[in-house]
């Protein structure tokens, strides 16, 4: 499921991180799915187990996976969902404020904007 290329100039660590995130983003791995053990993935990909462990640790730090001691490592969220919710809320608020201000400058009311967004949603 995961691929790395030792001949590629991108470091193995980044390739594996990207490969795992891609598998999650495309639905090949879903929330709750178990990842291979560090040793097993290292053997399968013929890479150092420390590299796999480092990637798993970083993914866990970012909230993408969760390691349960003695059980395994599991997908907990999609990468974009794993971002700090407060930070995401702040960014969304800034985007909406900018959008509403721009719409108002062009002569659209908030009701016009909401109506149009609801139509697009369908």
pTM, rounded to two decimals: 0.65
Q: Which of 90, 13, 96, 93 is nearest to 53 (CA)?
A: 13
What's the pLDDT tens digit per position in 58-110? 999 888 999 999 999 999 976 666 556 666 777 788 888 888 888 989 999 99
Q: Say how many residues make up the chain.
A: 122
3-state secondary structure of 14: helix
Half-sphere exposure at residue 86, Cβ-oriented, CA atoms within 13 angstroms: 0
Q: Which long-range contacts (CB under 8 A, 24 or more apart) does 89-97 make?
A: none
Which tokens sit at 108? 């659209």
Going from N- to C-terminal start, the domains of the chain cover 12-75, 85-121
Fold of 12-75: Arc Repressor Mutant, subunit A (1.10.10)
């Amino acid at each position: 499921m995961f691929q790395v290329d030792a001949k590629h100039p991108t470091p193995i660590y980044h390739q594996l991180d990207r490969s795992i995130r891609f598998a999650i983003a495309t639905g090949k791995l879903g929330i709750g799915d178990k990842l291979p053990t560090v040793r097993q993935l290292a053997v399968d990909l013929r890479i150092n187990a420390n590299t796999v462990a480092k990637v798993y640790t970083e993914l866990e730090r970012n909230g993408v996976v969760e390691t349960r001691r003695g059980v395994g490592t599991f997908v907990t969220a999609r990468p974009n969902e794993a971002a700090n919710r407060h930070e995401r809320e702040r960014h969304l608020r800034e985007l909406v404020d900018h959008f509403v201000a721009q719409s108002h400058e062009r002569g659209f009311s908030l009701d016009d904007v909401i109506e149009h967004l609801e139509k697009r949603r369908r």
